[in-house]
Amino acid sequence: MLHGKDITGMSALNEGLIVIGNESKGIRDELLPYVNEKITIPKKGKAESLNAAVATGIILSYLV
């Protein structure tokens, strides 16, 4: 299971980058040293993950 800060409690971003990993492998290990904060999207139901494009849309709706 992936862990991170709940996105619903975060404020909009003024600057920075958002790195999206793929559905099965996540973010490449060589990028992790550059990550300041990990986030998660709370889910209802039994789905284990979201499609990366869908997750990106949800993240952008909260942070931009």
Expressed as residue numbers, the domain containing 42 is 5-63
Q: What is the pLDDT of residues 7-29, one digit of tens each?
A: 998 999 889 899 998 877 888 99
pTM, two decimal places: 0.78
8 A C-beta contact, residue 44 and residue 8:
no
Residue 48 sits in a domain whose CATH number is 3.40.1280.10
* CA 31 to the chain's CA centroid: 14
pLDDT at 64: 85
Q: Which of 18, 30, 23, 21 is nearest to 61 (CA)?
A: 18
What's the domain count of the chain?
Answer: 1
Token pair for 60: 């952008």
